[in-house]
Chains A and B, each alone.
Chain A
Amino acid sequence: MKVIEAGHLIKRFGTVTAVNDVSLTVREGETFGFLGPNGAGKTTTIRLLTGVLMPDAGDVRINGIDIHRHPLDAKMQMGVIPESSTVYGDLTAEQNLHLSGKMYGMPRALRNERIDEIFVQMGFSEKRRNPVRTFSKGMKQRVSIACAIIHRPRVLFLDEPTSGLDVQSRRLVIETIHQMNEQGSTIFLTTHNIEEANTLCQTVCIINKGQIVAQDSPERLKKMFATTQSVEVSFDRTVTRDLFAAEGIVRAEPCGDKWRLYTDNPDRVLKYIVGRAERESLGITSLTTSGPSLEEAFVHLTECA
């Protein structure tokens, strides 16, 4: 079943066309990654999909409901986490969640039950009665997420949810996205973090200059643009670039205490390194190969378009 359907969306700001004929479909239970460089039109698209902005042309349906003709019914289906942690700083975490629950028409008893559950899940039970303005950025983002999932939405929109967060907060946000997806919510995620999209999303859509330039599974996108792979190696003593002057190694780059060797034949390079190390009495401290990356596909698509 199609949960998000957008058809031929166009949005202009003056002479700039921020979103140019964008159409996309997200199926039920899917985690959909929406990638693009800065200014590509990600945030404008998410604002159009969530009814925060009116398009100049095109339509959006959430669970089959046209968001611009029936905005309230459509918005009842969704939870939105905007780009910056947009919660009321003068209210406590608990008051913010109550306000959010009231907006979705949740009765008090249900709100209380769900708020207790979320505080435990998000790990800030002891701070529930503190004003949000006293929280760190990561904590504010957790409250923002809690506000968006209080009513267990069928569709969750997240605009750069991990941007600028520390490792713990980032992990918690990703874990929450996983949990919501496992519980049946469809996830629409915009992110700069290619690795995040690679691990979280079943489908990735790349937007550049307001237009969709690719949409597929991360693996298929990687394969589509796989040109070179790499081998990373480190030894027990310092070596020079000359060591890697061999057939099959396209380029060698120092990378911290390691060397990254670009090749289109990793198998041959691995054999060469092991043989050479043996001949030179070098100890190999680490040796890894990396396949084609989503980052490569992203860069290719957004640079060439």
Chain B
Amino acid sequence: MMEIPLFLRGILVITGKNMRLYYTKPPVLMFGLLFPLFMFFAFFVGRHLDLNTFFPAFLAMMLFFTASSVGPLITPWEKREKTYERLLSYPVTQDSIILGDVTAGATFGIGISLLVWIASIFFIPVAVTNLGLFVLAFFLGTLSCAALGVLLASPASDSPPNVMIFSNLVRFPLIFISGIFVPLQQMEGWGLTLAYCSPLTYLVDLFNAAMSGKSAFSPFVDGGVLIVVAAGFILAARVIQKRNMMKGM
């Protein structure tokens, strides 16, 4: 029983350490901040798109990129700098490290995306029709995307550039199949099947439900999928990292 407070404290301290050390690292700024911003300019500026239709999707994309950009960096960076071994020798477990990494990624995602949304309400007339769903979308979105980031860092690598490349190979295709640039209602055939497989689709749909009131699925389905996906990513990261630990990597 004594271990529960120690476990929770470990998560908190690791989260604080990650926030201090990794938020300002160039790969995080590049792929978590600049890239989604450039995507916004590329797709929205001068193209006269309906912002009411596309802003929820943009917000989901922003959240996806920011929340999933911290996780892939932390473990490979720590392994390269050989601080990972010391971290494991502190009163923490691999689970506290994974959850600390997820929390740091989620906090980064919430912070930046919230700033973008607050800034945008001054320029773009996009309403939030359901505040509860909006908060839920933020929470579940950052959690599942940050968990994806940590899962992407789990293969035994001590090379941050390799892991960032791998994570972008997974993340970039997702934004094209998740109803961000083509609404789900306009998709058909293989495109629609792929969209159903992407967790980002359900986040976009939840933001649509919260902001425009129109969604393809029930918010329960969207929320349920995001919870299952987040739990699945965390469990998969745990299994992979435990296996690496057994192998001494």
Contacts and interface: CB of A to CB of B under 8 A. Distances in A.
B13 A44 contact: no
B85 A72 contact: no
Contacts of B88: 51-52
B90 A75 contact: yes
A18 to B, nearest CB: 8
Interface string A78-109: 10101010111111000100011011110000
Interface in B190-249: 242, 245-248
Contacts of B2: 72-73
Interface string B20-36: 11000000000000000
Contact of A99 (B9, B17, B245, B247): B17
Contacts of A54: 242, 245-246
A37 interface: no
Given A82-B82, A99-B13, A104 B248 contact: no
A243 interface: no
Contacts, number: 82
B6 interface: yes
B171 to A, nearest CB: 26
A89 B3 CA distance: 30
Size class of A's contact patch?
35 or more
A237 interface: no
Main secondary structure of the interface of B (DSSP, over half): helix
A261 B10 CA distance: 59
B3 A103 contact: no
Interface in A129-180: 144, 147, 157
Given A71-B93, A103-B92, A87 B248 contact: no
Nearest to A147: B86
A72 B6 contact: yes
B93 A44 contact: no
Contact of A86 (B7, B81, B242): B81
A157 B7 CA distance: 22
A163 B244 CA distance: 27
Given A44-B248, A53-B245, A103-B91, A86 B83 contact: yes
Contacts of A90: 21
B186 interface: no
A76 B91 contact: yes
A72 B92 contact: yes
A70 to B, nearest CB: 6
B3 A72 contact: yes
B108 to A, nearest CB: 17
B94 to A, nearest CB: 9
A157 B86 CA distance: 12
Given A13-B248, A91-B21, A103-B13, A52 B89 contact: yes
Interface in A178-226: none
Main secondary structure of the interface of A (DSSP, over half): mixed
Contacts of B81: 86, 88-89
A63 interface: no
B86 A102 contact: no
Contacts of B90: 75, 100, 103-104
Nearest to B5: A105
B6 A51 contact: no
Interface in B64-85: 81-83, 85
A61 to B, nearest CB: 16
A157 B89 CA distance: 10
With most chain A CB atoms within 10 A of its CB, the pick from B6, B10, B20, B21 is: B6
A82 B6 contact: no
A8 B28 CA distance: 45
Contacts of B82: 82, 84, 86
Contacts of B91: 71-73, 75-76, 103-105
Given A54-B246, A87-B86, A72 B7 contact: yes
Contacts of B86: 80, 82, 86-87, 144, 147
Nearest to A18: B248
A255 to B, nearest CB: 39
B83 A50 contact: no
Interface string A50-70: 111110000000000000001
Contacts of A95: 20
Given A73-B6, A99-B13, A13 B89 contact: no
B242 to A, nearest CB: 8
14 contacts: A13-B248, A18-B248, A52-B89, A70-B3, A72-B2, A72-B92, A75-B90, A80-B86, A88-B81, A89-B81, A91-B21, A99-B17, A102-B16, A105-B91
Report the 4 A-B pairs with minimum CB-CB distance, sorted nearest first.
A80-B89, A72-B6, A103-B90, A75-B91
Given A52-B88, A72-B91, A105-B9, 14 more contacts: A13-B247, A51-B89, A52-B85, A54-B242, A54-B246, A71-B93, A75-B89, A90-B21, A102-B13, A102-B16, A103-B90, A103-B92, A105-B6, A144-B86
Interface of A: 11, 13, 18, 44, 47, 50-54, 70-73, 75-76, 78, 80, 82, 84, 86-91, 95, 99-100, 102-105, 144, 147, 157
